[in-house]
Amino acid sequence: MKRLVAIVVVAMLSLGQLVKADEGMWLPHLLKSQNYEEMKRLGLKLTPEQIYAVNNSSLKDAIVRLGGGFCTGEMISSEGLFLTNHHCGFGAIQSLSSTEHDYLKDGFWAMKRSDELQAGFSVSFLQRIDDVTERVTEGLTEEMSAADRQKKISEVYKAIVEENTDKDKHISAQVKSMFDGNKYYVFTYLTFPDVRLVGAPPSSIGKYGGDTDNWMWPRQTGDFSMFRVYADADNNPAEYSADNVPYKPKHHLPVNIKGLDKEDYVMIFGYPGSTDRYLTSYGVKWATESDQPARVKIRRKKLDIYEAYMAQDDAVNIQYASKRARVSNYWKYFIGQTKGLKRLNVYDKKKALENDFQAWANGTDARKAEYGDVINLFAQGYAKQNQYELSATYLNEAVFGMEALVYAYRFGKLNKLIKEKASADDINAEAERLKAAMAGHFKDYYAPIDQEVFSAMLSVYYNDLPKDQQPADFVKMAQKYKGDFDKMAAKLFKKSMFVDQAKVSKFLDKPSKKLAKDPIYKLMASFLNNYYTNIKPHLSESDESMAKARRLFAKGLMEMNPDKKYYPNANSTMRVTYGQVLDYYPADAVYYNYYTTAKGVMEKYEPGDHEFDLPKRFIELYEQKDYGQYGQDGELRVCFISNNDITGGNSGSPVINGEGHLVGTAFDGNWEAMSGDIAFEKELQRTISVDIRYTLWVIDKFAGAGHLVEEMTVIK
C-alpha cells in the first residue's frame, strides 16, 4: 500500500526557488490565477476560458476519462471519435479477439459504422469543479480523533455526492481531498456507457518494442487505438442500443500535422492516477528496501509462468495477453523507480527537507506548538507500519495474484445471503448476477496457468512473511503438505468449483451452503479474515498518526513558502501540465534527440521476433518512402519527447500545442526519471508521445482507413 504524504510542488528543488513550468499537475479551473502568465510566456495562444469553462465549450470538453480513470482519451471529430493509447484499449481489443479474429496480432479497422464493436467500458466528461473546503472542514478540530474526523468528513462527502448525482441522467460526482485534507473539491461527470472500438494497429506497431523498450527512449511505438462514443437521438448518454448514434461532443480537438520543433510549447490534459511527491524519507526507505523489491520478485514469478504457457498456445496467448501486460508494466516500473530513487539520492534530499521543516517549525513557540511534532509523528507511524506493511503488499501482489481465489471473493455477497437465510428471491438475484459475469471470466481463464501461479504465490507468501502474520489455517495446511505447494494447489484445484465453469454454473442453478465449504473459498476467507483481524488494525494505528502528520506537513510547507505556487498530488482528477518539446542528456557523453523516425523502427526490426517484428505492408511503405502528407523533410517522425509532468492514468492524454491543436498522444515516461512519481527531476524527466502524423499515417496509408482521417479537422 502506498502511503501518500504531502503534495506540494517543491519536489527536490530548493524551497526558495520558483516552480518550473515543466513540473506540476495543475487543476484546470485554477490555471488563470496560478499559471496563465507563465503558459503565455512559453507559447500559449488561448485564453483561460478556452481551456476551462463551465457554461461554454472549452478544451476540457474534448477530454475523456476511460472507465474510472485507468486512462485518458481525446475527442478528435464531431462524430464521437476519440483517440487513446493502444495499451489503454488493449483489454478491449484482447476481449474481442479470438484465434479466428486475432485483433491483437492483425489489428482492427471498422470500414463502416456497423463494423464497430462494443468496447466494454464507459467514458466520462468532466462537467465542473467546485471548491467545497469550507463545507467539509466546518466543525473539524485538531482535538478530534482520526476516526471521528474521518466519520464527519465521510458524512459530508455523502451529502455532497448525493446533491450532485442524477443516475437517470448518468451524472455522477466525486469529492476529492487535496493537499492531504487541506482542500476539498467536488468533480461532476457525465458518463456515456456505449463505447465502440473503431480502429487499432497490430501489436507489431501498437506495442512495438514490447518489454524491452517499455519506459525507454529512444522509442518507436505507434501506441494508439480509436473508439467512438454513442448517444441516444437527443445526444444524451444511453446504454448500448443499435438505435444509438455517434455522440456530438461540445468540443473536439483539431489535428495539426504541421510538425513540432525543439522548445515548442505543449500542454497535456488527463487523469493522472497518483503521485507521492512529498513522500518522506521514511517512505522512500520503505519503498526502496522492502516494498518495491517484493513486488518485483512476485510479479516476475507470475510473468515467468504466464510466458511459458503463452509461448506454447495461440489461444492461451490471447487469453493472457492483457493480464500479462498489466503485470509486466509495473514490474519494470518498480525496478526503474527503485534504481532512480537510489541513483538520484532522493532519500538524502528528503531528509534535508525534513530537517529544514523542523528548524522552521521550531522557530517560534506558535509554530512549534502546531508543527513541532510532525516529523516525529512520521517516524512513529513508519516504525509501526514497517512491522506489518509487507503483509499487505503480499496480500495485494501474491494472494490477489491467484485468479481462482479472486474469483471466489466475488461470491462473498452470495455466501452472506445464504448464511443469513435471506429470501430466495434475493439469493437467486445474486446468483443470476454472478452467472451473467461467469462466461466473461472463464473466457480468459486457463486453469493450468492459475494452478502453477497458485502454487508459486502460496510458496512465496509462506516463506517470506512472519508466520504469526499468516492465517493459522493456512500455516497448518502448509505444514500438513510439508511445504509441497504444487501438491497443495493440485488438491485444491481438484476439489474446488472455482476452476471449472460447468461446476460454477451447476452451483449457481441451485445455490447452497456448499459455497462456504469450497476449499478455495475457505482459503480466500482465511486470508481476508487474517488481514482484517491481525494486520489492518496495526496499519490503521500507524495511519492515524501519519494522517495528521501529512495534513500538517502540507499546511506547514505552504506557510514556509507563502510566495510559492502549489499543486496537489495526482488523484485521478483532471490535471493540466505544460512545458516544451525538449531533448536531453541522460548520462555523461550521451545525447538524445527530441524525436524518432521510421528509420529507427527499421533499425530495430528483427523478423519473427515477438517484440520487434513488423508487418509486410509497413516495410513496403517504408522502402517506397510513401509518407504522403505526414512526412517531413523526407522522414516520417514517429515519437517525440517533452518535459511535461505526467504519470499513470495520463496514458492516452492529448498533447496540445499553443493553439489548442492535437499534436500527439502521451504514452510513457523515460527510464532515467523513473523516480518521477516521488521526485520530479527537471533535467531528466520526459514524457514520450506518439507524433500525431505517425498515427494518421498508420490509419491512412498503412491501414487504408482514410475515411477516419476525413472526419477529423486536420490543420495542414
Q: Can you say whether residue 11 is alpha, beta or left, with left for phi > 0 and alpha for psi between -120 and 50 degrees?
A: left
In 3D space, the residue among 170, 153, 176, 173 whose CA is nearest the CA of residue 162 turns out to be 173
Over the chain, what is the mean pLDDT?
A: 95
The per-residue pLDDT for range 572-598, each reduced to its tens digit, is 999 999 999 999 999 999 999 999 999
Domains (range + CATH), the chain: 35-120+196-276+575-715 (2.40.10.120), 281-555 (no CATH)
- CB of 12 within 8 A of CB of 349? yes
pLDDT < 50 positions in the chain: 1-19, 21
| Cα distances (angstroms) measured from residue 678 to each of 20, 133, 275, 288, 344 | 16, 26, 6, 12, 11
Catalytic residue check, 57: no
pLDDT of residue 509: 97
| Cα distances (angstroms) measured from residue 427 to each of 310, 341, 433 | 38, 51, 10
The per-residue b/e assignment along 268-304, b for 16 or more CB within 10 angstroms, e otherwise, is bbbbbbebbbbbbbbbbbbbbeebbebbbebbebbbe
- CB of 201 within 8 A of CB of 705? no
Query: Looking at 102, 180, 213, 223, which residue is catalytic?
Result: 223
Q: Indicate the DSSP class of residue 56.
A: S
pLDDT of residue 563: 87
Partners of 575 in beta bridges: 270
With the CA atoms of 92, 98, 102 and 105 taken in that order, what torsion angle do they form, in degrees rounded to the nearest 10? 80
Catalytic residue check, 651: yes
pLDDT of residue 564: 86
Q: Indicate the DSSP class of residue 653.
A: P
How far is 668 from 665, CA to CA, in rounded Å? 10
pLDDT of residue 143: 87
DSSP string, 231-248: E-TTS------TT-EE--
> If residue 666 lies in a helix (H) or strand (E), which one and from where to where?
strand 662-669
Query: Looking at 29, 58, 86, 87, which residue is catalytic?
Result: 87
How far is 699 from 706, CA to CA, in rounded Å? 6
DSSP string, 185-213: EEEEEEEE--EEEEEE--HHHHTTTHHHH
What is the chain's alpha carbon radius of gyration, rounded to the nearest angstrom?
Answer: 26
The per-residue b/e assignment along 38-66, b for 16 or more CB within 10 angstroms, e otherwise, is bbeebbbebebebbbbeeeebbbbbbbbb
The per-residue pLDDT for range 303-330, each reduced to its tens digit, is 999 999 999 999 999 999 999 999 999 9
Which positions ≥6 away from 115 have C-beta within 8 Å? Answer: none
- CB of 443 within 8 A of CB of 319? yes
* CA atoms within 13 Å, Cβ hemisphere of 360: 18
DSSP-derived pairing of the beta strands 654-656 and 108-109: unpaired
How far is 187 from 172, CA to CA, in rounded Å? 8
How far is 489 from 486, CA to CA, in rounded Å? 5
Catalytic residue check, 87: yes
